[in-house]
Amino acid sequence: MRLIRFRLPCRKFMTHRLTYNLNALALFCLAIPLVGALGIQLTGDLPCPLCLLERVAMFSVAIGLVLNLRYGLKPSHYAMSMLGALMGLVISGRHVLLHVSGPPGSGYGGAFLGLHLYTWALIVFFCFLIGASVLLLGSAQFETENDSSPRVGWNTSLWARLTSYLIFALCAINAGMAFMECGPLECPENPTGYWIFGH
């Protein structure tokens, strides 16, 4: 007796075009907290060493997504992003645990919508891991020869290119700002000024 092949509905639903655009959207969503964190830093609230590591983890996630947008969707690119998110989850989880036992309002830095930035980072990494796992369920995105949806790629998607350039600019700015803050010395646990300006 021939068995009837059962396929998950999301397998066909997740076309190459849809997943490519979802990757670009995820990259854009990742740029929002990075721009916000940089804005907060420019107002004088300097990031601690763990805050900087959370940003590093966000850029690790972003590199996997940019690889997907530039070279096409591959499971290995998703794996790189997911490892970055896992690392970020560990770092932000540790950051939350460091402050969770203190009295209310004793966390590091200001709060946004009632939550500190490291708590938001924890939520972002968790959501990304869930989202990437769901995206990986759709294997149709990797079978390009059977996909009849219109092709989308780096050269045709201005949205993907702009977001990638934005992420690159943010990464370069963060490199400069981190050096300005810490210099060649150890980053202080509670920084009050930039090393380059003599603080």
Partner 1 sequence: MRLDFQEASNRLALMRAMALSVGEALIRGSQGICLLFFGSSSVIIACENSQFFKIIFSIPNIRGFMTALIFTLQAIALALVMRQNEGWAKALFWLSFSLTVAWTMFHATDSLQIAL
Answer for the pair 180, 191: CB distance below 8 angstroms, yes or no. Answer: no
Three-state secondary structure string covering the chain: CCCCCCCCHHHHHCCHHHHHHHHHHHHHHHHHHHHHHHHHHHCCCCCCHHHHHHHHHHHHHHHHHHHHHHHCCCHHHHHHHHHHHHHHHHHHHHHHHHHHCCCCCCCCCCEECCEEHHHHHHHHHHHHHHHHHHHHHCHHHHCHHHCCCCCCCCCCCHHHHHHHHHHHHHHHHHHHHHHHHHCCCCCCCCCCCCHHHCC
Shorter beta-carbon distance to partner 1: residue 129 or 171: 171
> Considering the rule CB under 8 A, would residue 83 count as an interface residue with partner 1?
yes
> Considering the rule CB under 8 A, would residue 13 count as an interface residue with partner 1?
no
Question: Which one of residues 22, 24, 34, 62 is an interface residue with partner 1 (CB under 8 A)?
Answer: 62
Residues between 90 and 129 with contacts to partner 1, criterion CB under 8 A: 90-91, 94, 98
Part of the chain binding partner 1 (CB under 8 A), chosen from 9-17, 60-68, 118-126, 138-146: 60-68
For residue 199, give the amino acid letter: H
User: How far is the C-alpha of 50 from the C-alpha of 96, rounded, in Å?
Assistant: 10
Size of the site for partner 1 (CB under 8 A): 41
> Considering the rule CB under 8 A, would residue 52 count as an interface residue with partner 1?
yes
Shorter beta-carbon distance to partner 1: residue 14 or 37: 37
Part of the chain binding partner 1 (CB under 8 A), chosen from 4-12, 19-27, 138-146, 182-190: 182-190
CB of 87 to partner 1, least distance (A): 6
Question: Which one of residues 151, 183, 196, 199 is an interface residue with partner 1 (CB under 8 A)?
Answer: 183
Shorter beta-carbon distance to partner 1: residue 62 or 140: 62
User: How far is the C-alpha of 133 from the C-alpha of 49, rounded, in Å?
Assistant: 29
Neighbours of 36 (CB within 10 A): 13
> Considering the rule CB under 8 A, would residue 1 count as an interface residue with partner 1?
no
> Considering the rule CB under 8 A, would residue 56 count as an interface residue with partner 1?
yes
Residue ranges that bind partner 1, judged by CB under 8 A: 49-50, 52-53, 55-57, 59-60, 62-63, 66-67, 70-71, 80, 83-84, 87, 90-91, 94, 98, 164-165, 167-168, 171-172, 174-176, 178-179, 182-187, 195
